[in-house]
């Protein structure tokens, strides 16, 4: 596979990297590399626009409302089925 076929991220992350690193690299060097990688990834993040944010919020709220209805109906249905199967009136008084 040529480098032209590799994505930019994959190509840039493999440039200049040695084939095998020593497993006992300096602790502080590893932390510094980790922090540099975090900063690099955070620079790629794109914040949503106001319109997108409102749209995403509405989608999540509608989905949660639908799931609440489904779970509530299942709860009521299973509760009624258990009451019917065991024939209890719900009272535990003797």
Task: Assess if residue 18 is contained within a domain.
Answer: no
Buried b (16+ CB within 10 A) or exposed e, 35-74: eeeeeeeeeeeeeeeeeeeeeeeeeeeeeeeeeeeeeeee
User: What mean pLDDT is predicted for residues 3-15?
Assistant: 55
pLDDT score, position 8: 55
Task: Assess if residue 78 is contained within a domain.
Answer: yes
Tell me the residue length of the chain: 94
Task: Assess if residue 77 is contained within a domain.
Answer: yes
Task: Assess if residue 72 is contained within a domain.
Answer: yes
**Residues of the domain holding 73:** 23-89
Please tell me what DSSP assigns to residue 6: S
Task: Look up the pTM and report it.
Answer: 0.52
Task: Assess if residue 71 is contained within a domain.
Answer: yes
Banded pLDDT at 44 (limits 50, 70, 90): very high
pLDDT above 90 (res 17): no
């Amino acid at each position: 596979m040529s480098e032209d076929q590799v994505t930019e991220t994959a190509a840039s992350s493999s440039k200049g990297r040695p084939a095998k690193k020593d497993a006992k690299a300096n602790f502080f060097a590893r932390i510094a590399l980790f922090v540099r990688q975090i900063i690099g990834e955070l620079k790629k993040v794109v914040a949503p626009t106001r319109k997108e944010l409102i749209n995403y919020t509405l989608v999540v709220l509608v989905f949660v409302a639908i799931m609440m209805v489904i779970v509530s109906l299942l709860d009521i249905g299973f509760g009624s089925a258990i009451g019917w199967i065991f024939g209890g009136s719900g009272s535990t008084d003797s």
